[in-house]
Amino acid sequence: MKKILLSVFTLSTLMVNAQNVSTTTENKNVVLEEFTGIYCGYCPDGHRLAQEFYDNNPGDVVLINIHTGSYATPQGSDPDYQTSFGPAIAGQTDLQGFPAGTINRHLFAGLSQQGGSGTAMSRGDFEGAGDQILLETSVVNVWGDATVDLGTGIISVDVEVYYTGTQTITSNNLNVVILQNNVEGPQSGSSANPNSVLPNGNYNHNHMLRHLMTGQWGEQLDTITQGTLITRTYTWNLPSDINGVALDPTNLDVAIFVTEDQQEVLSGDMASKTIIFPNTDDASLSTSLATDLSCSVSSTDLTIKFQNFASATLTSLDIEYSINGGAATTYPWTGSLASGAFETVTINGVNVTANATNTVDFTLLNPNGVADQNSANNTQSTTFSGVAVASSGQASIDITTDNYGSETTWTLKNSSGTTIASGGPYADGSTTAQATVNASLDGFTCYTFTILDSYGDGIDAGYGVGSYTITDAAGVIVATGGQFGTEDNASFETGAVSAVNDISSNFSIFPNPVKDVLTIEGNYTSVDIIDVSGKLVLSSEAAKNINIKALADGVYMLNIKTENGIAVKKITITK
């Protein structure tokens, strides 16, 4: 009998020692689910306010950023941060706009967003509602521990739930959520959250919902009486990406929370995390970038971000790169990089004989002076643009605005910074092809086209398909685009005065400066007079004398059209 009692005592002691979740009654933790997107100009401000609330209440707040809705739907080559779980979670909140958020999926009287009737509230109410929850007593405590095994590619989460109080309902739901931090990508309105803006201008997304290990609404718990301890273990084979967005196993977090049903959250917590590195020497190439060339710069800057994917500290690495299939160059790196940590290296001023589009191939070699134990993550390629060469003479700029033309402005400047053509803002209402603007391009000159969108979502973000195109005098498109955020730029240069302008010596133009009447001697079919903004101000059929009295003082370009091409001349009008 004594032996049996001793065995029972020993088993009981082991069970108590094995338990990690607190059995003491505690106040509720906050679970803030924020609904967001990459084209939402006010979303970064919501991220900032949520992060400040999180930082001011360490250990008591769970942040979950859910990309869903029209502002999260990718356009063009932009990444897709959405999941299959987001629409249903957002659908039960009655959200009225973005950003929005729920605090413990609770309905707060008077705080429903923009006159709605649901749990969604505006970003300015996050803190006030959260403070209320933090003062309430919880009937349940949760604990979790996550292990990420980079060798097997499996994340394992141990969960403990302990009930310290009673409820009038008979079941709860347990939710285990995979989040990802440090996801680099685009974001409108990023200036509202400067702490999340990276040096290259991209945005650093955090707390991003990636997966629900327990399904859309969690696993049902049927025994929830006071004093009950529930333990669970969940595993997930980590995919390499979700909707094309890389899933970095070293930047994952696990959130755990318990709900009354699929709505009211009783409490939640963040799991502790351990990463198992199977190799002692393994460098992983994360991202790579090469800067586009410009008229004045014939070299590119190469930037790569790599990670120590090994258990040993990384102290040296060879970075090998090759441009357009040419000979490989090795850049030696030295430092001290802990397991899981990242390092960004920029190689400035790499001279290149560029094509219109160029490819750089990167390879990481010899971590800590030995062979890399996992070569599968060592290589990556990126591209950069050369500088387009335009024919001198009259170019045309065609702008098609989206439904919000009032947000669009643009300029075309020469190498001295003088604006030779500009446009916008335009009218709102529908996708509109604006009137073509002409600009006269001189030889041996660099031109920079800049288009701006004041809202920050470009002219092709789901509100009509906008675009821009610049066509030179020979009919060649030298710049085109439309998918950008706040700003897009394009550079091109003109070489020697092109063949269409070689006939300019066949004409004599006088007087210059001119006051009233301009005389053109030579055979031509018509002439266009263009002002410095690129606007056509006068057009005339072949005539020796042209009356320019109506034109204001200033510099103008003449495009003199002949059967053999176009001659370009510059005049100054002075009254």
> Tens of pLDDT along 119-174?
999 999 999 999 999 999 999 999 999 999 998 999 999 999 999 999 999 999 99
Check residue 2 and give its pLDDT.
Answer: 32
pLDDT average, residue stretch 74-101: 94
Check residue 370 and give its pLDDT.
Answer: 97
Element at 481 (helix H, strand E): strand 477-481
Q: What is the mean pLDDT of the chain?
A: 89
CB contact set of 22 (below 8 Å; sequence gap of 6+): 141, 143, 162
CB contact set of 475 (below 8 Å; sequence gap of 6+): none
CB contact set of 408 (below 8 Å; sequence gap of 6+): 399, 401, 402, 424, 425, 426, 451, 452, 453, 454, 459, 466
CB contact set of 184 (below 8 Å; sequence gap of 6+): 198, 202, 203, 204, 205, 287
Nearest Cα to Cα of residue 440 among 548, 552, 571: 571
275 has a pLDDT exceeding 70 = yes
Please compute, for residue 479, the number of CA atoms within 13 A of its CA located in the half-sphere on the CB side: 25
Widest CA span in the chain:
126
Highest mean pLDDT among 1-5, 339-343, 360-364: 360-364
Nearest Cα to Cα of residue 94 among 110, 113, 70: 113
Whole-model pTM above 0.75? no
570 has a pLDDT exceeding 50 = yes
38 has a pLDDT exceeding 70 = yes
Looking at residue 293, the DSSP 8-state letter turns out to be: P
Structural domains in the chain, sorted by start? 13-276 (2.60.40.10), 292-383 (2.60.40.10), 389-494 (2.60.60), 499-573 (2.60.40.10)
Q: Which two tokens stand for residue 304?
A: 């790569």
Check residue 523 and give its pLDDT.
Answer: 83
**pLDDT band, residue 342 (cuts 50/70/90):** very high
498 has a pLDDT exceeding 60 = no
Rg (CA), the chain: 32
pLDDT average, residue stretch 339-358: 88
Check residue 476 and give its pLDDT.
Answer: 84
